[in-house]
Every structure is written in C-alpha cells, then in structure tokens.
Structure 1
Amino acid sequence: MRFRLDKNALIYGYMLSGSRKGVAISVDDLAEGISRDECSWLHFDYTHPDARAWIEQKSELEPVVIDALLSEETRPRATLLKGGVLLSLRGVNLTSGSNPEDMVAIRVWIDEKRVISTRKRPLLSAQDIVALIDANEGPETPGEFVATLANRLIARMQETIQETEDKVAEIEEAVLTAESYSLRSEIADLRRQAISLRRYLAPQREAMLQLQSDRMTLFSTDDHVRLRETTDHLIRYIEDLDSVRDRAAVTQEELVNRLSEQLNNRMYVLSIVAAIFLPLGFFTGLLGINVGGIPGAENPNSFMLFILFLVVIVSLQVWLFKVKRWF
C-alpha cells in the first residue's frame, strides 16, 4: 500500500550525491521509495503526524533511533549505534522576538547513504545547507553533512556571544559612572543568558568530541579536521561565556557595593541630622509643656535667650562630632 505523506511533514529533501545530486525529494518520491545507491537527506517536522508515521513505519530505523528523532526533550549528544550515528545538537534561537538562550534542537541520524533529521522550530543552519546544495556546493556524504551542520550551528553563535560580551562591557562602564538601580536587572538578565547558553553548549562540546572518535568510521579525514576546528570554536565560545558570567558577577557585586555605599552615606547624613535635632527637640518639648513654673515665662527676652542657648548646644554638638571624627 502506498504511504501518503502530507507535503508539510517534509521540510527539505535532497539527493546529496550521484547523478541526481542536488535534486529535491518530494513527498511523492518518498511514497514511491528512495534508492539507497545514492546519499539522500530528509528533514522532517517531527510534530507533524505524517512525519511521525513515516519515521515509525517506513524509515526502517531501530526503535531507539526512532524514539530519539521524535523525542520532545533532548540533550546534545553523539551516539554510535549499529549501522550509523545518532546526533542531537542545538543552535541559538535567532527568530525575531525570541530569546537566544531558548535554543533550537535538531536530531540527526546518519548511516552510509542516509541523513534523516527532525526539528520542531525553524533552524537557520538547515537553511544554510539548502542554500549550499542549491549552489552545487553542498555536502556529498553523511559525514560531510554533519561537519557542515555543526560548523553552521557554532558559527551562528558568535554574534550572540559577542553581543553578550559587549553588553557586559557597557554595564561595567555604566556602573563606574551611573547610579541607576535598573542596572541590577540588566546584569541579572545577562548572567541568566550566559548560564542558559553554557548549560546547552557544555554537553554539545562533549558531543562534538565524541564525533572525533576513531570509532566514527562514517567521517573522512577532512570531516574530522573540520569537526576539530568547529569544536575548538565551540570551546572558545564556552570559555567566553564563562568569562561573561564571571565579569557579570563581579560587576553585580560592585554595583551592590556602590548602591550600599550610597545608602549608607544617606543614612549617615540622616543620623547626623537626627542627632543634632534630638537635644533641640528635647528642650523645646520640655519648655512647651502647658504647666506653671516655666522659666522665663514673664521675661520678654526669654525667647531670644532660648534661641541663643540652642545655638550653643548645636555648636557643642558639631565640635564634639568633629572631635570624634563622625564627619
């Protein structure tokens, strides 16, 4: 029975090698069956029911591979299985209005003649490979496909990480010149972004290192060289994220110290004012009680004498504070 597949289930399909290199694969071609003599790439939206049905019923993959390709949650990894390699990689989310740390996952199975990948959200790195294929410069083997995909995923992280570093530098400068409490939330956002990115990139580094193992026979020497270069870039980006995280933490501590110092200075001034007016309030309150016998009540110069007395009290307080070096 011919398997019917909705056209939206298959995102991309191309022949990577042979006489039909660069030829697009349609859902009708899938229904008829694809020759295993030439290398092909099929890229599915795993949330589509028809895509799930085709992978489960027609892909001839092992159950563990099927589960991995259709899994909702996944962690970056590279696993050598019978007949091929199972990959799960992530790239930054560059969709407009989205958070870069909300990374997009792509799951890939490769064997000698097939590349089957799945995703939920659009991934620009997959579009890059399509552009290379259309320009007749695309990968011709599964190993070359993985090397190209990993390279594009890591390359697209550069701008995001550089923007994060620039923001940290701007905040570091602003902390030295500004007194804005809003900087605290900006630093917290940067630290959260750096931590989130690193949380996904660290296991991806391990996956990239596993791809360079001698056991991965699907990769040529050139593929291993490209994977090694890509891994070096990834490690550098992880180190940059560590630096961003540490710089943000130090900047946040400096900001908290400066804000605490400002608060302490203001509280100090208020304490001095309160200390000065404390005895004045005592004397004015004492002489303001409504009972008989208040000294100077009948003397017309009593008010001026009392003001002079208060001035003397304030002068003595100021002298005492200076002696004690309280200001």
Structure 2
Amino acid sequence: MGNHDELICAFLLSGDKPGRELSWQEVQDWTPDQGNIWVHFDCTHPGTGDWLRAESSIAPYVLEGLLADETRPRCDSYDEGALIILRGVNLNPDARPEDMVSIRVWADSSRVITTRLRRLMAVDDIRNQMPTGKGPATPGQFLAKLAGRLIDRMGPVIDTLSDQTSELEEALIGSEEESNLEDMRHKLNELRRVAIALRRYISPQKEALRRLNHLDEDWMEEEVQGPMLEVVDRITRINEELEEIRERASVIQDELANRLAQRMGGTMYLLTLVATIIMPLSFVTGLLGINVGGIPGSENPWAFAIVCAMMAAVGIGMFMLFKKMKWLTIPK
C-alpha cells in the first residue's frame, strides 16, 4: 500500500466469494461499477482527512463526524447515505474494556468508509472474514455484521460484571470482619465505575442501532432487517443487564453502609459505657488531687488504700447495675 499509512485496509465486498484486498492506487481508481467497496482509515493520520475532503465527495458536515476526536453513538440519515457512529469494548492489551473504542461509518449504495482512532477487534473480525468468503456483500450486510460483532464482544464483559456483582453479594452475606467490608467497598466502587462508563455509551448505542434498523435506504435490504432486529434486541438486553447491575450494586452499597454504621455505633456505645463508668471515678480523683489544705485522710497512711477500695467498689457497682439493666449489650 505504499507510503499511505492512513489506509488500514480496503476490500471489494463480494459476499460468499473471497473479498479482494485493494491497494491504495486501486482505491483511487475505484468506480461503483466495479462493485461495492469497504475502505478503512486511521483517523489519527493527517492523510485521512486530506483524502476524505479531496476524494470522497462526502459533505463537510458529515466529515466532521468521521474525523471528530470525541463522539457518541448515533445514526444520521442524509440524502447521499448515512453516518453511523458506534462503540465497542476495548479489548486491546493493557486496556480497560469500559474505555470503549469508537468506529465511524459512512455508508451509501456502493461503498462503506470507516475510520477509527484505536484498534477495534470487531472490525478485525470482519477484515479476517473477507479472504474466506464469509464477509458481507453489501453496505447493509456490512453494517449488520459490524453491529453483531460489537455486541458479541460486549457479552462476555457484561457477564463478568454480573458475576462480580453476585460474588460481592455472597461475600457480603458471609462476611463479618471489618477489613473484609472495606475490601468489598473498594471492589464495589470499581464495579460501579465500570458499569457507569459502559452504560454511558451502550444506552445511546441502543437508540442508534434502532434508528439504523429503520433506515429507509435501498441498500438496507430486507434480508438485513432480521439480523439487525436481533442486534437491537440483544443490546436492549445488555442495557437492561447494566441497569440491573447498577441497582444490585446500590443495594450492596446500602448494606455495606449499614454494616459500617453499625460497627461505628457499637464502638461509640462501648466508649460511652467506659466513659460513664470512669466519669465519677475521675471526679473523685480530681477532687482529692487539688493541692489545698483540709483534704480528708491526708494524715492517714491508709487513706489511699481506702479511697482505691471505695473507687473499685463504685466501679464494680456501676458495672453490675449496667449489666442488670442490660446496657452492656453492644449493638452488632
């Protein structure tokens, strides 16, 4: 492909026949009578914007969506075609799945142009299918296959989140140690962060795919409607699962807060009991410790022992009184 690094790959869409990969010059020379084409660009390369503006004949306001740094899932229909922006989970090495990767698509009756900032495994799946004869033959089939692969990659991530939520629920039921509760609180915060980040894009993606399924375009042929309807149904279930995970996490958060509040209440109650017993004894020792004349027993060698015995008796008496009144039961 020469030195045109902006071009990641390009194929003629041929369906059940192996798709032929095109060179940069073949992309330049392509005409609609040669068949449907898919061209995939690196959006970070400056050459991508230059080529799209000069050669693609796509309206400038559409190019803004194809080249934007920050995007949200959407599907916009125009007279010449449709702009579709979708997101997929980030399965690149050392990446967080919730840091979802965008794929921007321009589709019309004879071509599909895609741009990306980072590598997306769902796009690689389609690229790997092209030489085997299992790739799409039309722009509509390409969009249906792309949407399906994006959802396929999301499924295991959502299942993992659900399993982690269940593990936290089980651990909370069987845990009594405060250190375990603190550890669960940190895990819960991470789980909620991931769920919120995923839902930020999956919720609007559901609406984008729904609009895509109802596009009034000739190239969205009838045979594509079935797979697209299934994709919409699957992402709806994923969105519902994320909502369920969020609600379950809120319940766990409330229970953790109650457990920690009870522990704190028990500690404060214990300190209150100790302070209540010590308070009268501290008063006596403070009163007898003032350095003035006339302190009773100052000349008696047994005075200190007698005072200690009296204070011990008072402490024991208060302890027995609290026990009789069942004040010594610390809340758990």
TM, length-normalised to structure 1? 0.93
Amino acid across the alignment from 1:242: E
1:26 Cα deviation (Å)?
1.3
Quote the residue 1:73 is aligned against: 70
Farther-moved stretch of structure 1 (14-23 vs 152-161): 14-23
For residues 270 and 262 of structure 2, the distance between their equivalents in structure 1, rounded to whole angstroms, comes to 12
Which letter does structure 2 place at the counterpart of 1:25?
L
Determine the structure 2 residue equivalent to 1:164. 161
Q: For structure 2, which runs of at least 5 residues remain unmatched after alignment? A: none
**Whole-Å separation in 1 of the counterparts to 2:246 and 2:15:** 48
Please tell me whether the aligned partners of residues 18 and 132 of structure 2 are also in contact (alpha carbons under 8 angstroms): no
Measured in 2, the distance between the counterparts of 1:250 and 1:85 equals 42
Query: Aligned partners of 2:202 and 2:215: how far apart in 1?
Result: 23
Please give the alpha-carbon distance, in whole angstroms, between the structure 2 residues aligned to 1:19 and 1:321.
86
| 255 and 20 in structure 1: CA distance in 2 versus 1, 3 angstrom threshold | closer
In the other structure, the counterpart of 1:243 is 244
The C-alpha deviation readout for 1:173-210, integer Å capped at 9, x for no partner, is 23330423233232122112111211111111111111
Indicate yes or no: 2:99 matched with 1:102.
yes
* Greater Cα shift, 77-86 or 142-151: 77-86
- Asked if the contact 1:94–1:100 (Cα under 8 Å) also holds between the matched residues in 2, the reply is yes
Contact preservation (8 Å) 2:36, 2:137: yes
Q: 2:138 is matched with which residue?
A: 141
96-105 or 235-244, larger mean C-alpha shift: 96-105
Matched to 1:34, the amino acid is W
Q: Aligned partners of 1:222 and 1:200: how far apart in 2?
A: 28
2:253 maps to 1:257: no
The alignment's C-alpha RMSD in Å is 2.0
Instruction: For residue 19 of structure 1, report the CA deviation from its aligned partner.
Output: 11
1:36 aligns with 2:35: no
Q: CA deviation at 1:139?
A: 0.6
Aligned residues: 323
Pairwise CA distance, 1:18: 8.5
Report 1:60-209 matches (<5 A).
Answer: 60-176=57-173, 177=175, 178-180=177-179, 181-209=182-210
SS in 2 for 1:217: coil
Q: Tell me by how many angstroms 1:289 deviates.
A: 2.5
Which amino acid is 2:80 matched to?
G
CA distance in 2 between counterparts of 1:56 and 1:98 reads 32
**What CA distance in whole angstroms lies between the structure 2 residues aligned with 1:196 and 1:51?**
29
Q: Deviations over 1:4-59 (max 9, x none)?
A: 9843100110111289851111112234x112120110000122111111111001
- State how far apart, in whole Å, the 1-side matches of 2:93 and 2:282 are: 63
Distance 2:120 2:114 in 1: 11
Question: CA deviation digits over 1:139-164, x for unaligned, max 9?
Answer: 11110000000000011011111111
Quote the residue 1:14 is aligned against: 11
2:25 is equivalent to residue 47 of structure 1: no
The match for 2:226 is 225
The answer on whether the counterparts of 1:6 and 1:27 sit within 8 Å (CA) in structure 2 is no
Q: Which runs of 4+ in 1 moved over 6 A?
A: none
- Give the stretch that moved more between structures: 104-113 or 206-215: 206-215
Equivalent AA in structure 1 for residue 141 of structure 2: E
* Structure 1 residues 192 and 42: CA distance shift in structure 2, 3 A: same
Q: How far 1:284 moved relative to its partner?
A: 1.6
Amino acid at match of 1:83: E
Moved more, 218-227 or 308-317: 308-317
Q: Deviations over 1:276-323 (max 9, x none)?
A: 111111112222233332222333332332222112211332244345
Q: Cα offset for 1:167?
A: 1.6
Partner amino acid, structure 1, of 2:306: L
- What's the secondary structure of 1:88's corresponding residue? strand
**Any stretches of 5+ residues in structure 1 without a counterpart?**
none
Structure 1's 64 and 81: CA in aligned 2 closer, same or farther, altered over 3 A? same
Contact 1:212 / 1:228 at 8 angstroms: preserved in 2? Answer: yes
